[in-house]
Structure formats: structure tokens, C-alpha cells
Amino acid sequence: MRDKFGIALTIAVLTAAASPAVAAAASGESKMIHSIHDFTLTAIDGTDRPLARYRGKTLLIVNTASKCGFTPQYKGLEALYEKYRERGFEVLAFPANNFMGQEPGSNAEIAKFCELRYRTSFPLFAKISVKGRDMAPLYAWLTKESKFKGDIGWNFTKFLVDPDGQVVARFDSRTDPLDAKLVDKLEGLLAGNKR
């Protein structure tokens, strides 16, 4: 006969590989995941940040790294943020060390790097995993449950999210934040066009 610890461990193992909806059900949570607003993550300063605080805003969610060939995209992300934030736009950056160890630093080191090197002012979150067994629940939802499924291929993959918290576009690492296709889609969302 298994004790409570054994049962809890079995549930934890099963839910680690399951979709967020299945994981929530298996762990006894009654809340289903319907949008990015249902997640709470840790900000780079260690505080909890419910993504519900971004309800009504258009978002660009990006997995970042400090030692990647695409790292200069921080400059474009900041330019995009500065241009559109007054219209209800936010960039949410999630540092991740999943690709060839290109984000080895601590949260404090990442924050300092972004501030000093690129003068970023958009929200940075604590380092997470965006693929594999330890994938953060947000990225499990983005890559398995949203309309734009598929593993994260590299650093600086971008998800454009509408004010209702739904993913409406996905751009790969090679797409610069100031690329015309991304900007056109963003401007359409800010103008109230959800197509």
C-alpha cells in the first residue's frame, strides 16, 4: 500500500509531462488555463507577478539570453516598447538558459546586463526553462495549448498576445523586433483589429 508521499510523488511525475490543463486537473486545481492572464511568474527582482495585471494590454513575450547572436535584439525590443507602451503595449522578457548555455548568469547579473548594456525598461522575469522536462508552465501552455504550438527553437522566439491574453502570432528568432510584419500585426492589435 502506497503512502500519501508516494501518491503525491506519482502525481507530480505524471503532471510534469502533462499539458497545463491536465496538470491542473491532476493536482486537484479547479482552475483551467484559458489565457496567459491565468499565470503568475516571478519577476527578476524575486517578487510574484500575476500576468493578470497585463489584462487589456497587447504583449510581446520573448525568451531571451545574454550571450546569443540574437542578443542585440534587446535594442529593438526596447525601441518597440518605448514607441508603443503609451498605447497599451508591454514586452515581457523571460531569460532562459536552454540553448548552448547562452544565459548562464544569475537573475541579478541578467538585470544588470540588460540595464547597463541595452538600457531596457520593459519587464524582465526571473530565469526560467522554455523547453524540456523543467519547462515553465507558461511556456508549456504557449507551445502546447495556444494556436501557435511547437517547441521553442532558440533564444528570442516571440509570441504576440492580444489584450484578452490569447496568442495571435509567433515569430522566430531571426525576426527582428522592428520587422515590418511584426510591427504591422502589433499596430493592428493596438488599433483594435484582432485578425
Those residues whose C-beta lies under 8 Å from the C-beta of residue 194, and which sit 6 or more positions away, are 162, 168
CA-wise closest residue to 95 among 143, 149, 40, 136: 136
Count CA within 13 A, CB hemisphere, residue 69: 6
Q: Is 68 a catalytic residue?
A: yes
Query: For the residues of 8-40, what is the DSSP string, one character each?
Result: HHHHHHHHHSS-HHHHHHHTT--PPP-SGGG-E
**Is the CA virtual torsion 103, 109, 111, 113 positive or negative?**
negative
Count CA within 13 A, CB hemisphere, residue 140: 18
From the list 18, 68, 178, 183, the catalytic residue is: 68
Catalytic residues, by residue number, are 68
